[in-house]
Amino acid sequence: MKAHRRVVFIITPQSVLLDITGPLQAFHDANLLVQSNQGTPHANIPPAPPYEIILASQTGGAIVTDTGIALPTVPLADLTDQPIDSLIVAGTDEPLTALDDQALLGWLQAQKTQARRIASICIGAFLLGAAGILDGRNAVTHWRWCDRLQNRFPKAHVKPDPIYIRDGPVWTSAGVTTGIDMAIAMIEEDLGRETALAVARGLIMFIKRPGGQSQFSQPLNQQAYDRNGRFDALHVWMRKNLHLRLGVEDLAAQAHMSPRNFSRIYARETGTGPAHALEKMRMDAARDYLETTHNTIAHIAVLCGFGDDERMRRCFIKHLGVAPGAYRARFTTSLSV
């Protein structure tokens, strides 16, 4: 039985291995989840996987990635038996020699009107730009390459901050692991939030990462409980405003609800009260500062909205069983002194 959606990864010499294997793993895990959840109890016929995953290149054969590991590919000429649903162009090392491959660029140009969606990972965006696919569209690449992408393809609208952008049928991601974020977003669009959440949790990823390329991690358990995603935007806003003195009334106003109704629905949708969720967010932000900066504990307490270091200490003791100073001593061995 044929898969419902054909996902084709375009690989060029020196493609970044993780650009390929990270998103590929996400689609593969989605296949396993769907097949395990939709098996027929009284039949020996397994359900069709939602995705058919193909590695392809202009010439076919083994293509050596940036790590020296070669991946087997089929030639583009063989991809004519059925339409491509999702076309994903992997990033590559410098120099961008693939930009000189006119046959590949011509093939990509033809896919503009044939594939349902076209995507790039990291500096794979340069191939989309050279094929005219980014003209008039918002796009992103690795932050080191954003200015260069904009200068080379002035008809594109390059945004330096997002981890990935969807502009109509064209998706672009910022670099390396953000290709996994983009793949999870595609899975959510195709198969629903439940499947995307399961894939994200299996990969220890986040179904939606707030902010730009430097950001706080969003707890997976919180996302898992908020299965309808009703408060995703609120959670992003909360994390950006942890330094403020936030109360339930402030959160309710941001959610455009009365405080009483907000508290009731939030607890029902997420499995925890808004005050408890806010406290955990403050603690997670403080943990990040403790692990990655030399800021004083008192300053971190202010940045994260605890007000003073004693309140932050009590929170750490309650949830982690250690004080902030002990936490820092244990988890910051990589910080220079």
Give the CATH number, domain containing residue 155: 3.40.50.880
In this structure, the answer to whether residues 127 and 170 fall within a common structural domain is: yes
Helix (H, G, I), strand (E, B) or coil at 336: coil
In this structure, the answer to whether residues 127 and 43 fall within a common structural domain is: yes
- Long-range contacts of range 250-257, CB-CB < 8 Å, 24 or more positions apart? 251/278, 255/231
Could you say which residues of the chain have pLDDT below 50? 1-2, 40-41, 210-225, 333-337
Residue 230's domain comprises 216-337
Question: Does residue 229 form part of some domain?
Answer: yes
The angle at the Cα of 163, spanning 224 to 332, to the nearest 5 degrees, equals 75
From 73, 41, 39, 71, select the one nearest 54 (Cα to Cα): 73
Question: Does residue 240 form part of some domain?
Answer: yes
In this structure, the answer to whether residues 113 and 38 fall within a common structural domain is: yes
Burial letters for 253-270: b for 16+ Cβ neighbours within 10 Å, e otherwise? ebbebebeebbeebeeeb
Tell me which of 142, 169, 184 is where a domain ends. Answer: 184
Question: Does residue 178 form part of some domain?
Answer: yes
Question: Does residue 209 form part of some domain?
Answer: no
Question: Does residue 205 form part of some domain?
Answer: no
Give CA–CA dist 270/81, Å, rounded. 45
In this structure, the answer to whether residues 47 and 122 fall within a common structural domain is: yes
* CATH number where 277 lies: 1.10.10.60
CB atoms within 10 A of CB 83: 12
Tell me which of 167, 184, 201 is where a domain ends. Answer: 184
In this structure, the answer to whether residues 231 and 332 fall within a common structural domain is: yes
In this structure, the answer to whether residues 267 and 155 fall within a common structural domain is: no
CB 120 within 8 A of CB 169: no
CB atoms within 10 A of CB 102: 9
The pLDDT of residue 136:
97
The pLDDT of residue 44:
60
Report H helices in 15-138. Answer: 17-37, 102-111, 125-130
Question: Does residue 49 form part of some domain?
Answer: yes
Question: Does residue 113 form part of some domain?
Answer: yes
Tell me which of 166, 184, 202 is where a domain ends. Answer: 184
Number of domains in the chain: 2
In this structure, the answer to whether residues 156 and 220 fall within a common structural domain is: no
CB atoms within 10 A of CB 282: 23
Alpha carbon 160 to its chain centroid, in Å, reads 15
Q: pLDDT of 218-252, one tens digit each?
A: 344 444 445 567 888 898 899 899 999 999 999 99
In this structure, the answer to whether residues 261 and 161 fall within a common structural domain is: no
In this structure, the answer to whether residues 145 and 59 fall within a common structural domain is: yes
The pLDDT of residue 271:
84
User: For the whole prediction, is pTM greater than 0.85?
Assistant: no
The pLDDT of residue 1:
42
Give CA–CA dist 251/270, Å, rounded. 14
CB atoms within 10 A of CB 276: 12
In this structure, the answer to whether residues 11 and 123 fall within a common structural domain is: yes
Give CA–CA dist 24/209, Å, rounded. 19
In this structure, the answer to whether residues 95 and 146 fall within a common structural domain is: yes
